[in-house]
Amino acid sequence: MKQFLDDGFIAIGYPAGKSFTGKSYDELKGILDQEDWSEGIGNVNLFVLMMNVGDYVIVPDDNKKDVYIGEITSDYYHEPAVDKPNDGFYPHQRKVTWFFDKKPLLRSQLPEELRGSLRYPGTIANITKHRSIVEGLINNESNTKNEENSNPILDKAIHVLEVLLDDHNTEIRLKAAEALTRYYSEKK
User: pTM for the complete prediction?
Assistant: 0.72
Is 165 contained in some domain?
yes
Displacement of CA 1 from its chain's centroid (Å): 15
Residue 95 and residue 20 share a domain? yes
The count of other CB atoms within 10 Å of the CB of residue 77 is 15
Q: How many CB atoms neighbour CB 72 within 10 A?
A: 19
Q: What are the CA-CA distances from residue 145 to residues 93, 138, 149, 184 (Å)?
A: 30, 11, 6, 19
Q: State pLDDT tens for residues 133-186.
A: 899 998 876 544 444 455 677 767 777 787 787 778 889 889 988 888 888 777
Query: Who contacts 60 (Cβ-Cβ below 8 Å, separation ≥6)?
Result: 66, 67, 107, 118
Check pLDDT > 90 for residue 44: yes
pLDDT of residue 157: 79
Is 145 domain-assigned?
no
Distance CA 83, CA 74 (A): 19
Domain of 69 in residue numbering reads as 2-128
> Among 17-31, 53-67, 82-96, 173-187, which is the least confidently predicted range?
173-187
Distance, CA of 121 to CA of 24 (rounded, Å): 25
Residues 11 and 59 in one domain: yes
Domain count, the chain: 2
- Say if 135 falls within a structural domain: no
